[in-house]
Amino acid sequence: MDTPLTALASAARFEADGIYLGWGSFTVQLGNLIVISVMILLFIAALLLPFPGGRGRR
């Protein structure tokens, strides 16, 4: 008899391995590298783009 937790755990198991990129002792999965890159780009964009409505308030 499958409980909902057992069904969720079996659905979370993947048979395929991810793609790993390595450089020296540094190893990262490709999906994680994409997420980290997008987060860094959004952070840089938030620093560089002007805040809406900030210039005309004086």
**Average pLDDT, whole number, for the chain?**
81
Residue 41 domain flag: yes
Residue 58 domain flag: no
Residue 5 domain flag: no
What pLDDT shows up at residue 28? Answer: 95
Q: What percentage of the chain has pLDDT greater than the value 70? A: 64
- Specify whether the CB–CB gap between 20 and 30 falls below 8 A: yes
Distance CA 4, CA 10 (A): 10
How many domains, the chain? 1
Query: Residue 4: which pLDDT band, with cuts at 50, 70 and 90?
Result: low
What pLDDT shows up at residue 55? Answer: 62
Q: What global pTM score does this model have?
A: 0.59
Residue 1 domain flag: no
What pLDDT shows up at residue 50? Answer: 82
Residue 40 domain flag: yes
